[in-house]
Amino acid sequence: MFELSLVKALQAIGNPFLDYLMFGLTYLGDELFFMAVALILYWCVDKRFGFKVMNVFIVSAAVVEGFKNIFDRPRPYEEGAKSIFEPTDGGSMPSGHTHTIANLSTQTALRWRKRPLIILGAVLTAVVALTRLYLGQHYLTDVLVGAALGLGLAWGVSLLFELLKDREDKIVFVVLPLCFLLAVVLRALGFDNEKLFTVLGVYPALCIGYYAEKRYIRLNVRTVWYKNLCKIFIGGIAVGVFYFLPDLLPLPQEVMLTEFLKYFVVGIMATVGAMELFNLLKLYDKEPAEIFNIPAAYIELTETPDADVKSAQKAEKPKKERKKKPVSKKSETPETEADAAPPDTDEADGAEAAAGQPRRVEKPAAEAPTEEPRTDGEPEPAEPVEPEPAAEPTGAESAEAKAAEPAGTEKPSEEGSKNG
Each domain of the chain, given as residue ranges in start order, spans 1-163, 167-307
Residues 106-124: pLDDT tens digits?
999 999 999 999 999 999 9
What pLDDT sits at residue 290? 40
Domain 1-163: which topology? Vanadium-containing Chloroperoxidase; domain 2 (1.10.606)
Q: Which are the contacts of 269, defined by CB distance < 8 A and separation ≥ 6? A: 238, 239, 242
What pLDDT sits at residue 131? 93
Residues 127-136: pLDDT tens digits?
999 999 999 9
Average pLDDT over residues 4-12: 88
Q: How far apart are CA 35 and CA 339, in angstroms?
A: 84
8 A C-beta contact, residue 69 and residue 91: yes
Q: What percent of the chain has pLDDT over 70?
A: 66
Q: How far apart are CA 96 and CA 118, in angstroms?
A: 20
Count of CA atoms in the C-beta half-sphere (13 A) of 207: 21
- Cis-peptide into 94, omega within 30 deg: yes
Total residues belonging to the chain: 420
Query: Average pLDDT over the chain, rounded to whole?
Result: 75
Instruction: Give, in degrees to the nearest 5, the angle at Cα 282 between 278 and 285.
Output: 90
Residues 79-94: pLDDT tens digits?
888 888 888 888 888 9
pLDDT-derived band at 386, boundaries 50, 70, 90: low
Q: How far apart are CA 378 and CA 11, in angstroms?
A: 91
What is the H or E stretch that residue 157 is in? helix 140-162
Q: Is the pTM of this model over 0.85?
A: no
